[in-house]
Amino acid sequence: MIRHFTVLVTALLCLVLLTSCAATTSEDTDAAVGRWSKKEAAIVDDDPTAVAVLFAAIDGGHSPRGTAITTGFEESQTIARLVLSCYGTGTMDGVLSVTTSKGSSSTEFPGLHCADGPQRLEMPASAVRSVDKLSFRATNSSQESAWQLVARR
């Protein structure tokens, strides 16, 4: 009977330790993502060519949904460059949606590697001028992460 009790107590202690380690890892990741996002925001703060900055955190796991972050412009904008940065060493997929006076278009960007640093996303040529609305959605992240998309003139 004592042996079964010892095994049960040992199993419960292992479960508690694993749970507390998972919580610490998540808290550590949240703190690291926070530091990363502040650093990324500081890069854009003094950039007069930046017309929009979209940002979102994303949970790890292969989910096709993701959260779309959208911005609209009071006056149509010409977007010359889109630069995506993401936190960590994992990968994620992205979908860029652009709305102009001529309509909307979406472009998929599969397998974006966060460890590669800032990545330029190519917009369809027809969507570069007169952008009224811009949206980005990240999905299928291989780890807990965050992303930032900067639209520049």
The tally of CA atoms less than 13 A away on the side-chain side of residue 151 is 26
Residue (of 6, 30, 10, 29) closest to 18 by Cα position: 10
What is the model's pLDDT at position 63?
Answer: 75
pLDDT along the chain (153 residues), means of 10: 33 32 61 89 88 94 84 94 95 95 92 96 80 96 95 94
Strand order across the beta sheet in which 50-58 lies? 50-58, 145-152, 81-86, 119-121
- Specify the pLDDT at position 44: 86
Per-residue confidence (pLDDT) for residue 37, from 0 to 100: 87
Q: Which fold has domain 2-152?
A: Jelly Rolls (2.60.120)
pLDDT of residue 25: 59
Q: How far is residue 83's CA from residue 49's CA, in Å, rounded to a whole number?
A: 12
